[in-house]
Structure 1
Amino acid sequence: MKLGRISVDTPFGAVSRLVAVDPTKNRVVDLATAELLRRQAKGATRDAAQRFASAIFPGSMSAAIALGDIFLETAHEAVEARGDDAATPISSVNWISAVDPPLIRDGLTFVKHIRQFHERVGAEPTEALLEIPGYFKGTPFTAVGHDAEVPKPFYTDYFDYELELGYIVGRVCHNLTPDEARKALFGVTIFNDWSARDVQKIELKIGMGPGKGKDFAFGIGPWIVTMDEIGRLDDLEMTVRINGKECSRGNSAETVWSPGELLAYMSISEYVQPGDLIASGTVGNGSGLEIDRKLEVGDVLELEVSRIGTLRNRVGPPEEKRWWPERRKKFW
């Protein structure tokens, strides 16, 4: 099943709605509306049906995933019973981030990207990459969806993208094995780890992980494909287009660490939550750094992954510069 989130205008402001996506029929189905109609047909009052539908299909994808099996089971039943009555053309909806993750964790697993990234920056990959599946934590509050405009940060002269897979966690995970962790995944989406390369370079020297080099935006979408539908994760074709022209192509095959190993490691002595997004790291050829292509205002970026879809965003003008730190005098 393909599941996403859209924004709908109401007299009280914009609200998020969970939808089932059917690209073959060029439509999305508002799951809460479909379930309301299904419950009413079974004898529930409108108020009771609305309370039930809103509980199973809130605006939060993470909250819905946390309900467990009843979420997907009810989604299938609602679409089958009343999908036609709650459908909207795909072309008319306003997409938002496919999931509202409690936390974003971004790994580094694709062998070709690791090699090519380090070649571009003139460094050797650290052998620590072979010891543990490293990752950084990103803010979930700047997640953007399909067709959103992403302002180019005013503080960067090297605006970049990173084409990745985003694994969505399906239940609370604590001290799991890789096999257990693989079974705990809910689905997969496309993840764009937008990057300010010049600021990232400085932050890496500090050794505390990325901050302003990453946290200004994370692209998630256009929708989530559940694990039962996506099938294998090691044979996905991954393509980058800028302004309609294909720039690069990669494949999800060659990794240092599997998705199960990534999640299992993250769950050690920690509680990973339903709806958390775990990113794969960039696929080989999946960043502008690897092909010497910076993004500029007005560029339209399309990241396509087979069996998932296409995540498209436009680079917008920078926000107004208010303040930026000045270099301090050396004190050691």
Structure 2
Amino acid sequence: MRFATYETAGAARAAVASDAGLHPLPDGTTVLDLIRAGLPAALDAGAAALTGPAVPVESVRLLPPLEAPTVRDFVAFEEHVEGVVASVGDGGGVVPEWYEAPTFYFTNPYALVGAHDDVPVPPGSRLLDFELEVAVVVGRDGASLSPAQAREHVFGYTILNDWSARDLQRREMKVNLGPAKGKDSATTLGPWLVTADELEPFRDADGFLPLDMRVSVNGVEVGQDLLSNMGWPFEELIAYASRGTQVRAGDVLGSGTCGNGGCLAELWGRRGATDPPPLRPGDVVEMTVEGIGTIRNRVVPGLDLPPVRPARPRPRPRLRKR
């Protein structure tokens, strides 16, 4: 089943998506409510909604499928790391520590945008990039889960585009803290949240989902990969996120960017040049993941803000003057 959230007449409404359109759920119900109620109850509610009339998708604005309490983004594709280190980092290939455990950072849950929303260029950035990912949505609270337990905590999956200001990211990572402002301007989720049972037929013998992933800019394909090229399956990402702490229903965990052109920075690192060029206002980025759907966002001009003031020279006194 595919759950969606859309805006109509200035209000958000949860729905189930079908070939006929969006079938609204009872007024006041959110997708996060359904996730917290559990997958069986959510499927029952969705089945009931499907018996009702449908709203054409093109007549409404799709919002992110859910208001995520937290968003973690992993870096689970070795090929992506290899290319990006040469572009954004200091070169030298994939560090040995990458292989030891899945690494993630927390990104901004307040910056989630819908499947067809415009995306402004972050203030001060001249190197805007996309990142093609799939995100898993946690369906049940848990702590210090094993991978086997974590499999039972999966509610579903959605497409994630981790918009990245590479010039801001480069500066931040020189300080060995981040990324932060390089990543928190926008994250696309959508077009809907596909429940785990829909994608189980794709699962391979090693527990991965070999879904075809593609991204194009202005109609020209830039990248293609299989989701099964992750270094760890999703249940291991959930287990690691819960290690010594909690994950809760509705938490979103991104796979990290796929390889083979899943972002521009990977290609810049491999080619030694900003080719293809950074995203500019007017560019349209389209991502399609097999079994999930398509998101399409247009880049627009961002805010023109004053430059950030640099730090003052370090003060020397250790005591206040009396």
Do these two structures clear the TM 0.5 threshold for a shared fold by scoring above it? yes
2:9 is aligned with 1:16: no
Letter in 1 for 2:6: I
Instruction: Indicate which of 129, 149, 152 corresponds to 1:180.
Output: 149
Q: Equivalents in 1 of 2:314, 2:81: separation in Å?
A: 33
Count of residue pairs brought into register by the alignment: 298
CA RMSD of aligned residues (A): 1.7
Q: Equivalents in 1 of 2:314, 2:130: separation in Å?
A: 33
2:266 is aligned with 1:287: no
1:136-151 to 2 correspondence within 5 Å? 136-151=105-120
Question: What do residues 98-144 of structure 1 show as CA deviations (whole Å, max 9, x unaligned)?
Answer: 12110000001112212222233423222111112110001200100
Q: Equivalents in 2 of 1:114, 1:191: separation in Å?
A: 18
SS in 1 for 2:110: coil
1:159-170 to 2 correspondence within 5 Å? 159-170=128-139
Q: Is the 8 A contact 1:62 1:102 kept in 2?
A: no
Question: What do residues 2-42 of structure 1 show as CA deviations (whole Å, max 9, x unaligned)?
Answer: 11110111xxxx221111111x33x1111116xxxxxxxxx
Q: Is the 8 A contact 1:197 1:213 kept in 2?
A: yes
- Greater shift in the superposed pair: 291-300 or 159-168: 291-300
Q: Is the 8 A contact 1:97 1:143 kept in 2?
A: yes
2:177 is aligned with 1:193: no
Instruction: Indicate which of 94, 112, 116 corresponds to 2:79.
Output: 112
Which consecutive residues of structure 2, in runs of 5 or more, have no partner in the other structure?
268-274, 317-322
The equivalent residue for 1:90 is 57
Percent identity, aligned pairs only, is 35
Question: What do residues 245-299 of structure 1 show as CA deviations (whole Å, max 9, x unaligned)?
Answer: 2122111122222211110011112121111100000000200112333100110
Letter in 1 for 2:23: V
Q: Equivalents in 1 of 2:113, 2:241: separation in Å?
A: 24
Deviation at 1:324, TM superposition (A): 1.6
The equivalent residue for 2:7 is 7
Instruction: Indicate which of 50, 64, 67 corresponds to 2:34.
Output: 64
Q: Which runs of 4+ in 1 moved over 6 A?
A: none
- Greater shift in the superposed pair: 126-135 or 316-325: 316-325
The equivalent residue for 1:218 is 187
- Greater shift in the superposed pair: 308-317 or 126-135: 126-135
2:220 is aligned with 1:241: no
Q: Equivalents in 1 of 2:227, 2:142: separation in Å?
A: 24
Question: What do residues 27-79 of structure 1 show as CA deviations (whole Å, max 9, x unaligned)?
Answer: 1111116xxxxxxxxxxxxxxxxxxxx3xx23xx2232111232222211331
Q: Is the 8 A contact 2:78 2:94 kept in 1?
A: no
The equivalent residue for 1:258 is 233
- Greater shift in the superposed pair: 158-167 or 284-293: 284-293
Q: Equivalents in 1 of 2:307, 2:248: separation in Å?
A: 35
Q: Equivalents in 2 of 1:123, 1:208: separation in Å?
A: 19
SS in 2 for 1:73: helix
Q: Equivalents in 2 of 1:216, 1:106: separation in Å?
A: 14
Letter in 2 for 1:70: A
The equivalent residue for 2:302 is 318
SS in 2 for 1:70: helix
Q: Equivalents in 2 of 1:277, 1:307: separation in Å?
A: 18
Q: Equivalents in 1 of 2:73, 2:289: separation in Å?
A: 18
Q: Is the 8 A contact 1:164 1:190 kept in 2?
A: yes
Which consecutive residues of structure 1, in runs of 5 or more, have no partner in the other structure?
34-53
SS in 2 for 1:141: helix
Whichever structure has more helix as a proportion of its residues is 1
SS in 2 for 1:253: helix
Q: Equivalents in 1 of 2:297, 2:164: separation in Å?
A: 14
Q: Equivalents in 2 of 1:301, 1:330: separation in Å?
A: 44
Q: Equivalents in 1 of 2:315, 2:281: separation in Å?
A: 38
SS in 1 for 2:228: coil
Question: What do residues 187-236 of structure 1 show as CA deviations (whole Å, max 9, x unaligned)?
Answer: 00000110000110111121222111001111100111110002225211
Letter in 2 for 1:31: L
2:268 is aligned with 1:268: no
Q: Equivalents in 1 of 2:104, 2:312: separation in Å?
A: 30
1:43-58 to 2 correspondence within 5 Å? 54=28, 57-58=29-30
Q: Equivalents in 2 of 1:135, 1:67: separation in Å?
A: 27
Q: Is the 8 A contact 1:62 1:276 kept in 2?
A: no
Question: What do residues 148-171 of structure 1 show as CA deviations (whole Å, max 9, x unaligned)?
Answer: 011001211100010001101101
